Amino acid sequence: MHTRARITKAWAYISFTLTVAVIAFLFIYVFTSGFSVISWQFITDVPRGSVLGSEGGIWPAIVGSVWFTLTALILGGIPAVATAVYVVYCCRSSWFEKFIHTIMQSIAGIPSIVLGLFSYSLLVRTLGFGRCILSGGIALAIMILPFIETRTEKAMRELPKETIFESYALGCSRLYTILHIVFPAIKGELVSGLILGGCFAMGATAPLIFTGGVAFASVPNTVMEPAMALPLHLYLLLAQGTSMPQAYGTAFVLMLIVLVTNIIATFYSRRKKRRWK
């Protein structure tokens, strides 16, 4: 028994070290390789060069990514939170609840390229939206919907049921209860779920390829225009062999944005959680 416990312990330590090492290596490698091209100009300039992107900067891609992410968050976040509210507080049939969960899992299981294809055939072609931020944003919204829904639902289920019932027993409506008790109580987790969902959307490439992401565009003004996006720009730089340093620089910026927002989300939800306990 002693040796077995020791082996298990050693195994756990090795796995832990390995995981941390891989992540650390990835970050350090991208950061050191990309650091050389990073400059104020790289961030604020448009792509230039004889082969577009070999010189210049990535400003339109940064702005484009923010547009795509915000569109996805608005279009995906609202139905996700609404679904969670419905499942936890309105649904009176366990059968229907299971049905919704199955659908959420199915959506989560759809490969993102298929979502891109769906958005392309329905929105870009059939409905005539054309390649634009909205078409891409809807594909991303579908992708992050189950992620946000699951997190929101989990946070809501962790609230004591009694507290909610007490509010109902006072005659207060569901809406009043949700607005005055549920949302304040899960604010931290709700916001962090949305931010993490946004990070998830920001890093996705496949849903954008046919739908709204393009190799070059100026900074967009409306959601009906196509735009550049960081991961897609990175993909194109690599796929066409345009410039390795530029690609690492792009990856650096993308990872930095995702990392910083992740850290903000984590701290925000922790701070809020502590306040409520």
Query: Which residues would be at the binding site for another protein (CB under 8 A)?
Result: 92-94, 160, 162-163, 165-173, 176, 180-181, 185, 276
Closer residue to another protein (CB): 122 or 172: 172
Residue with smaller CB distance to another protein, 46 or 273: 273
Helix (H) or strand (E) holding 56: strand 55-56
Which residues are 48's β-sheet partners? 55
- Calpha distance 78→84 (Å, rounded): 10
Name the minimum Å distance from CB 243 to another protein: 54
With beta carbons less than 8 A apart as the criterion, state whether 255 and 160 touch: no
Distance of alpha carbon 43 from the chain centroid: 22
Distance CA 121, CA 116 (A): 9
**Nearest distance from residue 64's CB to another protein, in Å?**
41
Nearer to another protein, 106 or 166 (CB): 166
Task: Kindly report the number of other CB atoms within 10 A of residue 203's CB atom.
Answer: 16
Nearest distance in Å: CB 84, another protein: 17
Q: How far is the CB of 179 from another protein (least distance, A)?
A: 11
Q: Please, which residue, 31 or 89, has the CB nearer to another protein?
A: 89
Closest approach of another protein to the CB of residue 150, in Å: 20
CA angle centred on 142, ends 138 and 146, rounded to 5°: 150
C-beta closer to another protein: residue 4 or 275: 275
**How many residues does the structure list for the chain?**
277
